[in-house]
A and B are shown apart, each in its own frame.
Chain A
């Protein structure tokens, strides 16, 4: 489409990127009387690094002093209980253990403990016996540990989707399938170009994750680089639930990563990972043999009972590490009104609520007047999770809405009504439904329910099944109707 033919639209604040940073920022700004628009290139929010990470709400003891990571991590952690309650998102304060498997590792354990004390992070030192009492399946080699009870796990995609839904309910606007492909400044105004629109904005917030350097460069603002660093993760069958009760870190061997961990996810599965490998490409999301081997050899030192045969799925995510080695949270020195929230690598998920809460302050410091909305509604309409209800509640629910009596995903006990609700809230694809409801996320990995979910998506969205995709245009699952290929001579 020619630039002249594109629809023009003016807003006060445009956010580029609907990851956890962009969506929580949109929600924070929706507290004020502002026109806020979020542009996301994918079919749904949360599909960048936000959907493919460890889901840990870090305690705030790993970050080096003096970094922005340290500045935002612990405050972010402290915001989670309320945030997840308001947005009705799965969050579990499982606690975090850093365990020493040899005497010489105890120095680091003491260092984390001291750091915790200095930062006001609740921490305790645990003896070998105490750790083993708390985590009986831990290696016999454990020597001691530091425990941070307020660390935990969240479903990160759920949080991003919920934050966006709440922001929209409070007046923010979302445009999906809207990649920013061009950007420029004219006078006081900034312009963003998508395949269909030209957006004019007073403030542009760059929350484009891995691509934040490219967005900056479109504005001619070329002063940092984003370097993708891959992390692979392996998720186990719920059968292994309870093997560990908290999130278990080793004492890291290097300064770059926190090591490979055993994670108790917010949904109760056990997950292990991540690796930490610099990769050249921003789309290198493949898992590898070597990643698998390293993850298992490392984590089985911690928890010997991890059985590779019980893995149900695997994935990789890319950390958007900046060439500064720290978050970049600042107004551009070159383009007035361009705010970078970039280089948000781990513990970015944990830090996100605190970073987002700082954005209104940063705007005010630049002279923007923000007027709070009187009718801001912090709570998202609650989500029904059929599997978590009592038999009696389930019975009553089916009487109100028979679609709760139609079981779609047998592995995770997800009903048709929950899927329809997820679509109403913004799910557009098979992955979108899966991440919101868990339908298809279980041990059969959607083998049984995918055709049914496809039918529901097709019906609710009014599109043919051949247009229902895994995660947006180009990823359709079934490509042809019966007999369509006959006589076409595939070669």
Chain B
């Protein structure tokens, strides 16, 4: 179990400029959690992918970024939620190179590799929420 350490930020993600803002906020949290430069970059990039998906496929949504601790380590957790169409075939969506649009199809699968914890909840017609966590080493 992890206990939140209190610091938390909520952002609306509707367009390109919000994706940039999410990246900046996540980087701020990553710095406070003292993530290494490589881990900061990985987390920020994963956040960028998920925020972008929420805009591109989910019609916009919300991001919650927080500092978390599990007694041993601190980390950053970010959740990206939208009320979009949901993902009907999760396995396919997580396949490297698969895209329903014209992307590289590496956002979801790549983001999963970039972080320590990755949780995807989705329901067709209801929306999608992806939660990622990166722990300081």
Do the two shown chains form a genuine complex with each other?
Answer: no
